[in-house]
């Protein structure tokens, strides 16, 4: 059961009010996912469509705290995910947003950037579906934005968790194919 009307929400999305987020597509994470080849192809497809449509692209990067400011009790394992994968590497004009949490809104200026630019639709791609993508999508919705999950361009090292997350988000957000997203941008 869906708690909203996806067709009505789709009417609110276009290339002029959308941002594409490429969430943590860093080498270590890309090498850990269950569908690496398909994921890279589909992510590249959306990036190219965003560039063609003039949709801004924001890449996130997991960035550890400076050593002296690392949490004394680290609840999460320390991860050095490496650089953004060369297959989807940013180009001039793209934004790289360094962040320390699984929400794109905590400790960054992303919300302010969106509000200043008049962007309301956030299309999420990246890794991991059930962690940063879902957390950020839920946070986006709570802040009044329209989260859109690119179901072919999100992934995880845990296929079952990825599938559960997509099923959960379908109840609250748009979970669309690349084709559907690109069609919205071509309006």
The answer to whether residue 78 scores a pLDDT higher than 90 is: no
Q: What is the mean pLDDT of residues 111-127?
A: 98
What does the pLDDT average to over 112-124?
Answer: 98
pTM for the whole structure: 0.93
Confidence of residue 1 (pLDDT cuts 50, 70, 90): very low
Give the per-residue pLDDT at 70: 73
Is 97 a residue whose pLDDT tops 50? yes
Domains (range + CATH), the chain: 6-185 (3.40.50.850)
Tokens representing residue 2 in the block: 């869906």
| Span 134-162, pLDDT tens digits | 999 999 999 999 999 999 999 999 999 99
pLDDT in tens, 163-172: 999 999 999 8
Distance CA 22, CA 83 (A): 13
Task: Name the pLDDT band for 82 (thresholds 50, 70, 90).
Answer: confident
CB atoms within 10 A of CB 141: 16
Q: Residue 179 has which token pair?
A: 């084709």
Q: What is the 3-state secondary structure (H, E, C) of the chain?
A: CCCCCHHHHHCCCCCCCEEEEEECCEHHHHCCCCCHHHHHHHHHHHHHHHHHHCCCEEEEEECCCCHHHCCCCCCCCCCCCCCECHHHCCCCCCEEEEECCCCCCCCCCHHHHHHHHCCCEEEEEEECHHHHHHHHHHHHHHCCCEEEEEEEEEECCCHHHHHHHHHHHHCCCEEECHHHHHHHHCC
Distance CA 166, CA 61 (A): 22
Q: What is the pLDDT of residue 172?
A: 87
- Tell me how far apart the alpha carbons of residues 104 and 61 are, in angstroms, rounded to a whole number: 10
Q: What is the pLDDT of residues 6-55, one digit of tens each?
A: 899 999 999 999 999 999 999 999 999 999 999 999 999 999 999 999 99
pLDDT of residue 164: 98
- With a pLDDT cut of 70, the percent of the chain lying above it is 94
User: What mean pLDDT do residues 2-8 have?
Assistant: 77
């Amino acid at each position: 059961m869906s708690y909203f009307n996806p067709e009505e929400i789709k009417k609110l999305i276009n290339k002029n009010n959308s941002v594409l987020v490429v969430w943590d597509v860093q080498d270590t994470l890309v090498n850990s996912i269950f569908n690496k080849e398909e994921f890279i192809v589909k992510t590249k497809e959306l990036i190219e469509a965003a560039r063609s449509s003039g949709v801004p692209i924001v890449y996130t990067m997991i960035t550890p705290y400076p050593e002296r400011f690392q949490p004394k009790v680290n609840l999460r394992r320390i991860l050095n995910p490496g650089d953004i994968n060369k297959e989807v590497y940013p180009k001039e004009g793209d934004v790289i947003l360094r962040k320390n949490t699984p929400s794109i809104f905590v400790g960054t200026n992303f919300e302010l950037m969106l509000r200043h630019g008049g962007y309301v639709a956030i299309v999420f791609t990246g890794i991991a579906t059930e962690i940063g993508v879902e957390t950020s999508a839920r946070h986006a919705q709570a802040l009044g934005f329209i989260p859109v999950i690119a179901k072919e361009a999100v992934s995880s090292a845990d296929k079952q968790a990825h599938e559960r997350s997509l099923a959960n988000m379908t109840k609250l957000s748009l979970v669309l194919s690349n084709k559907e997203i690109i069609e919205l941008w071509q309006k």
